[in-house]
Amino acid sequence: MTAHAAARRRITTAFADAGVTGQLHAVDIDTGTALGVGSDTLVPTASVHKLCLVATLYRQSSLGLVDPTRPVDIPAENRAPGATGLSAMRDAARLSLRDLASLAVAVSDNTAADLLWDTLGLDTVNATMTGLGLTRTHAVQTMRELFATVREDAAGEPAALTDPAVVARLRALDPTRTNRSTPREITALLTAVWRDEVCPGEYGEELRAVLGLQAWSHRLAAGFPFDDVRVSGKTGSLPTLRHEAGVVEYPDGGRYAVAVFTRAASTDVTLPAADAVIGGAARIAVDALRT
């Protein structure tokens, strides 16, 4: 058995032990050497799609089509659901487009993301992904529209989301009916960002800095608990779904794009093992790439 085959087996076992099914793709950004489990499976991206959104903002900015410092007035009403950022705040505010991008990544702020969707448009984000060769990465809805389908499918009863039969019919979990991609295409996007192929120069540097702002460390970063290893990532969460995609950078210059998408058998909101296996599986993959 080759080292990569052994790693794939360990990753599959780790997913099963954590009570999830999962797909993973990891790639050495500089050599292109890759390892995957279900890498080309179409998956619902949830908030991982904010990577596409923010990358589009900076690409449009680098082309002179959008001013990232442009201020946006944010009314107190009609904000997207969410537990963080502007979604959790009660008063009107005013922020620049690039600060909205920072909130969308740092705390997965759904309202901040929707203001960017409203500014850029779904078609522009999709065209940017297609232009990068990511033909299976596609957005069909904003965050407010996504959560509206969840409310409708649960008949307006949040408690119903603990019922496996209700969760099974959520359109937000069906990659043919919601925002979607594959693990391989998400790591391709991250690779392009880190290679300055999405936007060069100061825009590329600022985009990578924004993607390094995420506050959560219980998923991808948990697999790399070292002071000298930098992890930039973006989570995605919906009932039974726990995802994260990001880049792991070592002090020796090694850098690896990793995307992990999981779905739990349990509808419990708190499943520490399901969160932790994202970092654990990513570590197995990156260690195999570094061998």
Tens-digit pLDDT profile for residues 62-113: 999 999 999 999 999 988 888 899 999 999 999 999 999 999 999 999 999 9
pLDDT at 244: 98
Q: Convert the pLDDT of each residue in 5-63 to its tens digit.
A: 999 999 999 999 999 999 999 999 999 999 999 999 999 999 999 999 999 999 999 99
Give exposure, 135-151, as e/b (b: 16+ Cβ within 10 Å). eebbbebbbbbbbebbe
153 contact partners, CB below 8 Å, separation of at least 6: 166, 169, 170, 171, 172
The CA distance from 241 to 279, in Å, is 15
Q: Convert the pLDDT of each residue in 164-196 to its tens digit.
A: 999 999 999 999 999 999 999 999 999 999 999
pLDDT at 103: 97
pLDDT at 83: 87
Side-chain half-sphere CA neighbours of 288 within 13 A: 24
Give exposure, 30-54, as e/b (b: 16+ Cβ within 10 Å). eeeebbbbbbebbbbbbbbbbbbbb
The CA distance from 178 to 138, in Å, is 9
Whether the CB-CB separation of 68 and 61 falls below 8 Å is answered with yes
Check whether 120 has a pLDDT greater than 80: yes
40 contact partners, CB below 8 Å, separation of at least 6: 182, 183, 184
Q: What integer best gives the mean pLDDT of the chain? A: 96
- Residue 124 tokens, joined: 């522009």
pLDDT at 158: 78
Q: In this structure, which amino acid lies at residue 34?
A: A
